[in-house]
Every structure is written in structure tokens, then in C-alpha cells.
Amino acid sequence: NIMTVDDVRLFELPKFIDPRGSLSFAEQNNQIPFEVKRTYWIYDVPGGESRGGHAYKSTDEFIIAISGSFDVTIDDGTRQKKFTLNRSYYGLYVPKGLWRVMDNFSSGSLALEFASTKYDRNDYLEDYGKYQELRNDGKI
């Protein structure tokens, strides 16, 4: 099934606000709508840098700005949609097959990402022209 920017979802995660501090959580196959095989995090991003700039053939992801803020721009070859993650209780679901760029990282921000696959570079599409070709042919 072919995903578009309309399949990307910004979820509000549960939060427990307490005089001792706040707590949020996410469970696989629940708040995170897939089975989690891997997690990774991005930190110490210098001002003005961007991350991503690729699509995955088969990996679904779920992205949380645990600390600070950044933007995630999703592109399906036809349309673009920008999401700003600036709360610890937001989770962005990005299904497979979509081009993504992360930028506008605030200083000290921390991006936590959950993925539905183990790391495999063969799952990456890193050439935007090639990505658009595959989209036009309905192959991704």
C-alpha cells in the first residue's frame, strides 16, 4: 500500500502531570502503531543542521522530541507537510515510503525514534530523483 503525507499522524501521548514532574509513555502496538525492533536518538545537533533526507522502503517510524523542538517535513513526491515537535508528549507516526527531513533543531534538543525494522542500509532511498521515479511508477 502506497503511503501519502495524509497517513502521517501527530499523536498526543498520555501524560501524568504531578507536582513531582510529568510522565508520558508509549507502548508498542498501542500508542506506537507497530512492533518496535529498534530505537535510536539524535542529539548534539549543531544549529542550522538537518538530518534525514531519505525515505525508507519498509520501515515505519515514530518520533518524539523528548527535549527541545525540531521540525519534520514529510514529502510523498507530490505534497509536503511540516510537523513541529515541541512537546515531550507528542509522537509523530511516519509510515514507510515517505521522504523526510528533520531540521530547525533547538539547542540541546533530543529526538527519540522508534523503528519497525532493524538497521539495514538497503532499506534507505537516498536519491530524491530516484524516489520520485519510484513514486511515479507506484512502486513505493
Q: Is the dihedral of CA 98, 103, 104, 108 positive or negative?
A: positive
Q: Which is nearer to ligand TYD, 94 or 140 (CB)?
A: 94
- Of 101, 105, 107, 104, nearest in space to 131 by CA: 101
H helices of the chain, in order, are 128-136
Collapse the DSSP code of 77 into the 3-class scheme (helix H, G, I; strand E, B; otherwise coil) and give the result.
Answer: coil
Q: Any contact of residue 87 with ligand TYD (CB under 6 A)?
A: no
Least distance from C-beta 51 to ligand TYD, angstroms?
Answer: 3
Q: Which residue is nearest to ligand TYD (CB)?
A: 51
Q: Which is nearer to ligand TYD, 19 or 64 (CB)?
A: 64
Q: How many Å separate Cα 116 from the centre of its chain?
A: 12
Q: Which is nearer to ligand TYD, 40 or 43 (CB)?
A: 40
How many residues can be counted in the chain? Answer: 140
Residue count at the site for ligand TYD (CB under 6 A)? 6
Q: Any contact of residue 57 with ligand TYD (CB under 6 A)?
A: no
Annotated active-site positions, please?
54
Helix H or strand E encompassing 30? none
Residues 16-55 that bind ligand TYD (CB under 6 A): 38, 40, 42, 51-52
Binding residues for ligand TYD, rule: CB under 6 A, are: 38, 40, 42, 51-52, 119
